[in-house]
């Protein structure tokens, strides 16, 4: 499997994400949006964006492990935040940095939304991973 992390000339190199990633070979895993529920379905961190984000990333780790992948295999993240404001970014980033490959970060999109599947959910993250 070959991965090419593409930072085009003439564009700023973002650092926290990679503008494009090309993958040849490997097995692709699509992870559905993860929310802040524990193993019993309880919402973790009601009303607390930081606590919910931490639970979401823990759920992603468990889902990757069950799929034979890890965060080092992630090539794309989509993050959806209810009522997103630029000042939320620091909280989201503080959790993300614990998990995402800093040398070759995935392509990433952060989207503010009006609502998620349940009113209690503040953040949802979906991912694509490619393993060799």
Q: Please, is 127 exposed, middle or buried when counting C-beta atoms within 10 Å of its C-beta (0-12, 13-18, 19+)?
A: buried
Please tell me the distance from the alpha carbon of residue 122 to that of residue 8, in angstroms, as a whole number. Answer: 33
Domain spans of the chain, in order of start: 2-131
In the numeric block, which tokens belong to residue 41?
Answer: 């379905």
Cβ atoms 76, 128 nearer than 8 A:
yes
Q: What number of other Cβ atoms are within 10 A of residue 44's Cβ?
A: 16
CATH architecture of 2-131: 2-Layer Sandwich (3.30)
* pTM listed for this prediction: 0.93
How many residues are present in the chain?
Answer: 132
pLDDT (tens place) for every residue of the chain, 132 residues total: 999 999 999 998 888 899 999 999 999 999 999 999 999 999 999 999 999 999 999 999 999 999 999 999 999 999 999 999 999 999 999 999 999 999 999 999 999 999 999 999 999 999 999 998
């Amino acid at each position: 499997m070959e991965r090419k992390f593409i930072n085009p000339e003439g564009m700023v190199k973002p650092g926290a994400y990679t503008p494009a990633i090309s993958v040849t070979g490997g097995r692709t895993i699509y992870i559905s949006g993860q929310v802040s529920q524990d193993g019993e379905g309880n919402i973790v961190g009601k009303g607390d964006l930081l606590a919910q984000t931490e639970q979401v990333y823990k759920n992603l780790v468990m889902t990757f492990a069950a799929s034979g992948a890890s965060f080092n295999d992630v090539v794309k993240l989509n993050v959806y935040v209810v009522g997103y404001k630029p000042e939320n970014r620091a909280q989201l980033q503080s959790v993300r940095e614990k998990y995402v490959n800093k040398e070759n970060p995935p392509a990433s999109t952060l989207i503010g939304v009006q609502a998620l599947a349940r009113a209690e959910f503040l953040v949802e993250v979906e991912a694509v991973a490619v393993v060799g």
